[in-house]
Amino acid sequence: MSTLLQELSTNQEAMKTWRHHMHRHPEVAFDEHKTASYIARLLREWGYEVTEGVGKTGVVARMRCGDSKKSIGLRADTDALAVQEANDSDHKSTIEGKSHTCGHDGHSAMLLGAAQHLARTRAFNGTVNLIFQPAEEIMGGAVAMIQDGLFERFPMDAVFGMHNMPALEQGKMYFTSGPLFAAVDNWEIVLTGVGSHGSMPEKSIDPVVAGASLVMALQTIVSRNVAAKDSAVVSVGAFLAGDAGNVIPQTATLRLSTRTSKPETRQLVLAKIKSITAAQAEAFGVRYEIREGSPGAVLVNDPALTEECADIARKLLGEDQVVMPGPTYMGSEDFAFFAQLKPSTYCIIGNGDTAMVHHPKYDFDDDNLPVGAAYWVALTQHHLK
């Protein structure tokens, strides 16, 4: 065990205290007011220049040491999920229907552990910006902070993030160059025809039949347009039409979720959704409206920076505790919007044999707290020499 990891391990109980407090008091997207205040209070006690309300409920803490103009950002997410926790731990959620079943409480506690150590030792030269970001679960917090001037108000040369992942060996760190998490785009298609009595379909223009055909046609996008070596998903998760079996409705609504692992694949898939919808609507004589959700983004790691970060982790934890390349995921992460604007590396820390994130019985493994905190300190000391 490295000396730095040993030092951070002696502070594990404090990190557990912070995490368990946040776990007991979960707040969902853009409602993280008490969580933000709790984090901000700790950071101010340690001497950070703290700005609250960045991107509604985000917190940015800045500390400068030495004379270097170098500056980096370390990001943790703070929001919980609208999930009823099924665990019975001493730190279980006290809020009905809300829980930290994705581990953002752990992410924040790891960054707080690093923050306290960095403030105490001041063993870096430059500026470190600690970004406690809201609303990751709805893919809204990163964009909100960017639109609120994150990178103009707090200049930084590169940004780094981390997420835990069940089913990967506890405490190991995983690094992947290039695309890591997929882009998600949630769209809605509304088909409008002419309603009629169910006994007189000839008087109608049936949006249900048009919608049923459209659902099947959309399934050809991945199977017949996306190369087998690439990854994409087009799912119609909701088909909303009508209320009675003897009435042909006026409208039908399809709700889609797409996942794409490359920016160019995303553009292809979204373009095909538009062209297929237009062709199907014309074929069935219905009108259509496509309501696009917030634009998605593939999380792409900077290759050189990612190799550098993996090497930092190897020196900290040992060769056998670092995996590169690590796995890629069809899930999404709004850190992708930071990575579009700044050189970035987002890594994974294994959470061991636990329930999967978003499952009611998921919980973050507290043994990861010193590991993640030590990585953040080592990374800061490396980039701000």
Q: Which residues are annotated as a binding site for Mn(2+)?
A: 102, 104, 137, 163, 358
User: 251-260 and 232-240 as β-strands: parallel, antiparallel, unpaired?
Assistant: antiparallel
Return d(Cα 115, Cα 112) in angstroms, integer. 5
The closest alpha carbon to 316, from 254, 384, 381, belongs to: 381
44-79 b/e with 16+ CB inside 10 Å = b?
eebebebbbebbbbbbbbbbbbeeeebbbbbbbbbb
Question: Could you tell me which residues are annotated as the binding site?
Answer: 102, 104, 137, 163, 358
Return d(Cα 72, Cα 42) in angstroms, integer. 21
Q: Yes or no: say if 293 and 143 are a contact pair by the CB < 8 Å rule.
A: no
Q: Yes or no: say if 375 and 313 are a contact pair by the CB < 8 Å rule.
A: yes
- Interior CA angle at 132 toward 109 and 54, to 5°? 155
Structure tokens, 19: 């995490």
Q: What is the gyration radius of the CA atoms in the chain, in angstroms?
A: 24
